[in-house]
Amino acid sequence: MRTQNLSHWFFLAFPATAFLIPSYHDEYLSFGDTTLAERDDMKILLITLSMFVLLTIFSFTLDLTQGFEPRTAYLNAISPFKVMELIESFVFVILIALFFLQSVLQVFTKKRSPK
């Protein structure tokens, strides 16, 4: 019982490894009130945040190795809009607009679909 409890906490701490073992996946399709889809959303959020943190640290490190002062490297890392070129700004605005357009279209299609 003790080892099963420890493996349960390991899979809670590292949810991506839970799908490597089929028996775990079949046994824990829901945790209390959370469903498998909600756990997948949390995985996506965790991966996105970890990528953001790691890439920000990488950018900060590159600025330091290029000879920037730590304060300048920090400001470049936390405010990417100051160091963006014009075409990067356009691409950013287009991606944000497409995201909101998709959300609005999804709301309208849900309202028009028969229930």
Q: Structural domain of residue 54, as residue ranges?
A: 2-84
Tell me, what's the pLDDT at 52? 92
Contact 77, 56 (CB under 8 A): yes
Based on the structure, what is the number of domains in the chain? Answer: 2
8 Å CB contact between 15 and 39: yes
Domain identity same for 9 and 32: yes
d(CA 46, CA 44): 5
pTM score: 0.49
Q: What pLDDT, in 10s, does the model give residues 6-41?
A: 444 444 555 554 544 444 444 455 555 656 667 788
Query: Could you report the per-residue pLDDT of 59-104, keeping only the tens digit for each?
Result: 999 999 999 999 999 998 888 888 889 999 999 999 999 999 999 8
**pLDDT value of residue 23:** 46
Tell whether 7 and 38 lie within a shared domain: yes
- The token duo for 75 is 């400001």
